Structure 1
């Protein structure tokens, strides 16, 4: 039993180390020691095994590491060039598909318009068509795992869509089973905002932070929470559905059938229509760039929208005490006026002690947080299988 426990501990440390190396894009032995709390000899033994198996390699330059004087540092880098994964990010009216290697490096990417809310079968087929085209574009590799993000909650206990007012035509479906049938590959499903949070925590503005609120403001409004370094989705997957929180005094009709929801006031589609009215012209959804809004009326609309969102986020910040609020999506990632409105409203309504430790920033990955998060999570799933497959063989030899 002691032998089994010892082997189990080594396998866990191995998996944690490998995931840390992959997630950071490259790190030193000292960083692994700090992350895992292992001794230098323990890390050296673990790293030597991974190097011998060819799963990682050493480089003298790490990713985004500042130059240092003297002898160059040696960084450990995951060897993910030979494996391939895919990510699909569904919004309410589009799907973005990307093919990446196991390092999370995107090799090909494309976006197509599709009615996601009312035509789940059509949305899946369009996603598959784009996926097939990209796979052919990068040379037809075997895809090891697919991660799909959709703009609605999935019950983690059953895998079913339960909420009748969000993606109503998807209610009762098991999206994972349907996507696996269409793609013929292993699939992991996620809420799109959670993928955005994962993208920012691995490659963006939330790296190294344990308590983060990611807010996607695009065709809808959604939030994702990373608390104590772990994603929090709630009992039935509904955590973060702030887009349908009612606003006092608001009567605008929302897609969910209620009136006065946050999404009906703050979403990118609503803001685009309001800006069109103020400018006396119509803005096309696929070419609208909020960064071009500089007139006084437009600035006021964006500022008011940010203030409205910030008022709700202030209550969340008082409850959760995050280190950072990251704004993503077509609106949140680009408008400095909108961000200032959010920041000022949180500062006005949140507790002073909460504000002292909080920053509000744009997504570092702009509106690509979700697709980056999708391929990073897919790479993690595939890398776990590679690592566990080799590690299990070694463990079986030890236990025989």
Structure 2
């Protein structure tokens, strides 16, 4: 079924009609994945001529699939192309240890509504998912949008998940969520397709989609929040492993005689760089703090908070350096709440990575703070929902093509 409700007609391979349909789909997919583009930029991205792009865009605007808006590039007038709002919207949830975030976006990479809700420690899955569904429906109603226009929902969760079943594989920061089929529960509540992944994986996806445009295909993303996890990008794709637990570096052992971790092992990275370790190290001198308090006080020059954060960052950097040796990514990106501390955290990670990883003469690794910020998992969930949404244009009677 097409975006306008008409059924597509099968075409014989190699026919002019097949070529026209392929060109239309190429243009729609390019706009959906890259966001707003001028017609000249769209021609360069698709390899089609500007005349063909102009002709196809006109028909897709008439069909209600694309929208255009006057703009300028380098002082010249241009026509910017985007996915039409009436094609539908996508939604995203980020379920963290202390916060629930909900957002709506269009298929042209714009966030059109957003809301955050604080959560109690050890919040229950059923209650939190009920709240998420109510907030999502409320945002749709505020926009005057029917839930039938919601194409897909992306979910970022602070735990490893099986994307095939939507099942939380291990509790992570969400102690009561183990074996909860999050995708299935939300699909039952909202009757819309749900796609789920860990917040570290989706934060890495957001950096790929919304960060600087370059030829980056291999990256290690460090999600430093209530727990430590990572998103590994190989060959331009997020690597999830055979069961979905790839990137759970918070459970790599760094001290065989260290404290027992919640996973049951001893001396995991989380026991030195997770929230409990950070606030615990400051309890005697500072009293009860939250993770955000530690970052805020560090930014204000508190030497104790700076020391605790830099020590934890150094441990994370040592683990990251070993992963750089193993996978040879071009870039290590530091994200999550701790990245808000700036060079107090990023600096020690960079120093440790450079000290640990196997150097070679053909290049090095770049270590830097993420460009998307703490909203990266939420924006990555929106990107996941977009990528899982198929926009199929209707086939017109006739239009120009490139041979």
TM category, shorter: 0.7 to 0.9
Determine the C-alpha separation between the residues in 1 that align with 2:120 and 2:19: 48
1:381 is aligned, of 385, 388, 393, to 388
RMSD: 3.2
Q: Give yes or no for the alignment of 1:120 onto 2:125.
A: yes
Name the counterpart of 1:91: 96
> Structure 1 residue aligned with 2:328, among 303, 321, 326?
321
Structure 1 equivalent of residue 6 of structure 2: none
Match of 2:160 among 130, 153, 161: 153
- One of 41, 53, 56 as aligned partner of 2:66: 56
The answer for the alignment partner of 2:289 in structure 1 is 283
Give the match for residue 398 of structure 1.
none
For residue 378 of structure 1, report the CA deviation from its aligned partner. Answer: 2.1
Retained in 2: the 8 A contact 1:84–1:141? no
Counterpart check, 1:110 vs 2:133: no
- Aligned partner of 1:187 in structure 2 is 194
The 1-side partners of 2:325 and 2:23 are apart by 36
1:37-83 deviation digits (Å, cap 9, x = unpaired): 55667656654553443422444537xxxx625x3454433333662
Q: How many angstroms apart in 2 are the aligned matches of 1:234 and 1:8?
A: 37
The residue correspondences of 1:211-360 to structure 2 (distance < 5 A) are: 211-249=218-256, 251-277=258-284, 279-285=285-291, 289-290=295-296, 291-353=298-360, 356-360=363-367
Could you say which residue in structure 1 is the equivalent of 2:12?
3
Distance 1:98 1:250, change over 3 A: farther
Contact 1:327 1:333 in 2 (8 A): no
What's the offset of the Cα at 1:147?
1.2
Q: 1:165 to 1:90 in 2, by over 3 A?
A: closer
CA contact (8 A) 2:159 2:171 kept: no
Residues 335/274 of structure 1: CA separation in 2 closer, same or farther (3 Å cut): farther
- Which range moved further: 238-247 or 3-12? 3-12
SS class of match (2:254)? coil
Q: Contact 1:200–1:207 (CA<8 Å) still a contact in 2?
A: no
Tell me which of 79, 82, 85 is aligned to 1:77. Answer: 82
After TM superposition, the structure 1 = structure 2 runs for residues 26-45 of structure 1, keeping only pairs within 5 Å, are: 26-29=36-39, 31-32=41-42, 35-36=45-46
* Cα distance between partner residues in 1 of 2:226 and 2:313: 15
**How does 1:358-377 map onto structure 2 within 5 Å?**
358-377=365-384
On the 8 A contact 2:159/2:169 being kept in 1, the answer is no
Contact 2:256 2:266 in 1 (8 A): no
Contact 1:204 1:365 in 2 (8 A): yes
More helix by percentage: 1
Change in Cα spacing, 1:2 to 1:116, as seen in structure 2 (3 Å) is farther
Shift in CA distance, 115/163, structure 1 to aligned 2, threshold 3 Å: same
Cα deviations across residues 258-296 of structure 1 (Å, max 9, x unaligned)? 22111221124432332444x433224565544535233
8 Å Cα contact 1:205-1:326 kept in structure 2? no
Which consecutive unaligned segments of at least 5 residues does structure 2 have? 1-9, 398-403
CA distance in 2, matches of 1:361, 1:114: 30
